[in-house]
Chains A and B, each alone.
Chain A
Amino acid sequence: MVGKKSSEVLTAAPRRRPLSSWAIRHFSTAIAALGRLSRQPFASLMTVLVIGVTLALPAAMHLVIKNAQVISASWDNALDFSVYLRTDVSLADAERLVNIVSQRADVENVTLIAAADALAEFREQSGFGEALDHLSVNPLPHTLVVRPSAANTEVSMGLLNEELGNLPEADFVQVDTEWVQRFHAILDILERAIAIGAALLAAAIVVIIGNTIRLDIQNRREEIEVTKLIGASNAFVRRPFLYIGMWYGLGGGVLALLLVGYGLYALKEPIARLSGLYSSPFAALALDFSESLIIAGAGIVLGLVGSWVAAARHMRRIEPR
């Protein structure tokens, strides 16, 4: 009876061995690791909480930058070009030019500020009114204020700038982009700072998980010794700890997403009120699917790295005595 059974096993085993049993073994180890965590819910939750908050910080900062970039991108296209015409260009020529320029596809509309109007405005606002009275001629040129269409890219804006400057009537073209460029530069710096911060926080997560796993390994020292004694390889003993690390990381990643999501929800109304005041349709962007995957994936990878480091350092030293 027994002999028959064992011969059955011998013939059946090689056919079934390869992938499915490997996967089943890993799956059951993963589930067992999850079960072990759920038996100490408080301690596990604390670890997940620390990792979640640590991951949520860079994720939230990334979101702030991302939204700031969206807002500033809309400013880019709202820039106007001031085309100062040569002083010898007549008002009639200037008006004809308005018609020509406003027919361009990349131009939304063109406003003409006549030299006389400009002088009147200047007189009113500068306080040099009387001094200006002594001028025999108006020193100000006619000016076209060209508003580019919203579809323009950075490249086509540059092209438009150049072509406006090449108009025979144009003296020079001014674009007030400096402050936007400064804003972009600040965003770039912030983005890099966040990347550095994220790297440091990632290292912190590796250390946190590594330390948690190290304690776990110490608590289960006897079990590890016994399993090694009956022929378990290092890989076999290490596997449950790697899965525990993975679960910590995944839990932390999901928690980070929840925290960021809740933060955004809490800010939704004030943001709507503010954009209402600017009569802007802006609504804060949330993390998209791939960004969410990256955060959860980062949690998993960091969890695995942390537990791997701990296991590699401490497992080898535990040998049967």
Chain B
Amino acid sequence: MIRIEEVTKRYPGGHDALKGLSLHVEKGEMVFVTGHSGAGKSTLLRLIALIDRPTGGQVIVDGQNTRRITRRKIPAYRRQIGMVFQDHKLLYDRPVFDNVALPLIIAGLDHREAGRKVRAALDQVSLLHKEKQSPETLSSGEQQRVGIARAIVSRPKLLIADEPTGNLDPDLSLEVMRIFRRFNEVGVTLLIASHDIALIDQLGCRRIALADGALEVQREEDPVAEYVERLEAEQERERW
């Protein structure tokens, strides 16, 4: 589903966010990308969403080489991918229903058709009863679920999420992950950037660790380092 080949990304000013990264995600996989901030997780997702272009290498998503996708074709490309953001990126001037319906309206569906799909998506994140509310009246966890409903409403084959649980407490994080899990079970490929290692371990999914813009070098079993890492993750979670 996703093939990253020798990708480098240099931002203006000379900072190398990715340094020759290669990785593959198969169809139907649910994969986590971990690493400290600055390791290149977000950059990787931005390249997949075509918010940025790689400086070198190939990004191939569902058989399409993103290098060949022109500016004009970016909207159609993005419509095939569900995206979930740490800060939800909802539109606060309209109710939950309209937020979730937006990708369908963009795709040109009429309201009746859209309504059915929107309700199905809201049902999957258990927010059907809040469709008329403004996102502002919802809790952070609920807002994130609205964001997820919007990402899956047009049934994309691929869903990418950048720190989807970054602002949520552990219980809500687990719930969001369970929702992702359910999508994965019906065949959606998921690529999720997260630093919440404890949570990821609980789910038992493949984990790609990035460090300094490349795959982290696989270390020998090191119980002490693992313990420290777990401790750090715990602390990070407590901060939220």
Contacts and interface: CB of A to CB of B under 8 A. Distances in A.
A21 B108 contact: yes
Main secondary structure of the interface of B (DSSP, over half): helix
Interface stretch (B27-35, B72-80, B199-207): B72-80
Main secondary structure of the interface of A (DSSP, over half): helix
Interface string B150-172: 10000100000000000000000
A228 interface: yes
B195 to A, nearest CB: 21
A134 B57 CA distance: 118
A236 B76 CA distance: 12
Nearest to A223: B91
Interface in A218-238: 223, 226-234, 236
Interface residues on A, range: 20 to 34
Contacts of B107: 231
Nearest to B123: A2
Contact of B78 (A223, A231, A234): A231
Interface residues of B, number: 28
A194 B90 CA distance: 50
Contact of B102 (A16, A21, A227, A234): A227
B238 interface: no
A6 B93 CA distance: 30
A228 B120 contact: no
Nearest to A232: B106
Contacts of A227: 91, 102, 106
A5 B119 CA distance: 12
Contact of B89 (A16, A21, A229, A233): A229
B114 to A, nearest CB: 10
B83 interface: yes
Interface string A226-253: 1111111110100000000000000000
B40 interface: no
Contacts of B91: 223, 226-227
Interface in B120-144: 120
A202 to B, nearest CB: 32
Given A226-B89, A320-B51, A231 B113 contact: no
A2 B75 contact: no
The 6 closest A-B pairs by CB, nearest first: A231-B79, A231-B78, A233-B75, A21-B110, A232-B106, A226-B89
Given A13-B109, A28-B111, 18 more contacts: A5-B116, A6-B155, A12-B113, A21-B109, A21-B110, A25-B108, A226-B89, A226-B90, A226-B91, A227-B102, A230-B102, A230-B150, A231-B78, A231-B79, A231-B106, A232-B75, A233-B75, A320-B51
15 contacts: A5-B120, A6-B155, A16-B110, A21-B110, A24-B111, A227-B91, A229-B51, A229-B78, A231-B75, A231-B78, A231-B79, A232-B106, A233-B106, A236-B75, A319-B51
